[in-house]
Amino acid sequence: MISVLLVDDDQELTGMLSQYLEREGFEATAVHTGEEGEVEALSGRYSIVVLDVMLPQRSGIEVLRRIRAVSQVPVVLLTARGDNIDRITGLELGADDYVPKPSSPGELVARLRAIMRRVQSAGQPTTEMIKTGALVLWPGKRQALWHGVELGVTSTEFSLLEELARSAGQVVSKKDLSLNALGCPLTRYDRRIDVHISSIRQKLGPRPDAKAWIQSVRGLGYLLIAE
């Protein structure tokens, strides 16, 4: 059973979400402060964390920063509708996705399932390896090496990098990246992919010519340069 940690100071909301998640086959636990959320998220007891950005005292962004310093547990942010700054900051810090508040519990469940499908694929036995230049990916282990060193990508970043690596040297549309890597259709003004790609670029560093390894192709999508 997938265990979900809900971190939100709105006890009525977490009660409703817990009931909905349990009806959908999840195991849900709720805490109501950032301090509690950080401790529980790092306990190793949860498959995925749903973290509200607007927490009292210690914000959700700060909690996420502390979690990512030591753990790659999947994190979905709950953000105020239209608050792009928190969304972008959260994705840059390593959040796997975000869901605006208010939103339907069904949307949250769909996002959780999409992320967990990607994470659980790591448990499937496979010897498949994808190699392009200095980049080596093992989809079965969700492991990425860059020049022989662990790249340290999140689950969502790995999925995007895998899609680009499978088509290295070719443009992959944002529509295909959204469907195949994020598990959801691309929507207008959605910047998830752009922010995740920016994070991956920073981890890869620049090419010898100072250009990025992942190129934007205006109006089309992204291209991973093949050595």
Residues 7 and 101 in one domain: yes
Residues 103 and 146 in one domain: no
What pLDDT is recorded for position 49?
A: 97
> What's at 14, amino acid-wise?
T
Domain with 22 in it? 3-121
pLDDT tens digit at each of 227 positions of the chain: 899 999 999 999 999 999 999 999 999 999 999 999 999 999 999 999 999 999 988 999 999 999 999 998 999 999 886 677 888 888 888 899 988 887 889 989 988 998 888 777 655 555 689 999 999 998 877 889 999 999 988 888 999 999 999 999 999 999 999 888 887 778 777 788 998 999 999 999 999 999 999 999 988 899 999 87
E strands, 148-213, are 149-150, 171-173
Residues 111 and 188 in one domain: no
Residue 102: asked if its preceding bond is cis (omega within 30°), the reply is yes
Residues 145 and 207 in one domain: yes
Q: How far is CA 179 from CA 41, 44, 120, 186, in A?
A: 28, 29, 18, 7
CATH number, domain with residue 207: 1.10.10.10
**Cα 209 to chain center, whole Å?**
30
Which of 93, 121, 149 represents a domain boundary (last residue)? Answer: 121
- CA pair distance 50, 74, nearest whole angstrom: 9
Residues 26 and 135 in one domain: no
- CA pair distance 68, 74, nearest whole angstrom: 10
Element at 57 (helix H, strand E): none
CATH number, domain with residue 18: 3.40.50.2300
The answer to pTM > 0.85 is no
Indicate the number of domains in the chain: 2
Residues 73 and 176 in one domain: no
Output 118-125 pairs: Cβ under 8 A, ≥24 positions apart. 118/142, 118/155, 118/156, 118/158, 118/159, 118/183, 119/47, 119/48, 119/74, 119/155
Which of 121, 147, 175 represents a domain boundary (last residue)? Answer: 121
Residues 116 and 144 in one domain: no
Strands 97-101 and 130-132: unpaired
Residues 20 and 115 in one domain: yes
Residue 223 β-bridge partners: 171, 215
Which of 62, 89, 121 represents a domain boundary (last residue)? Answer: 121
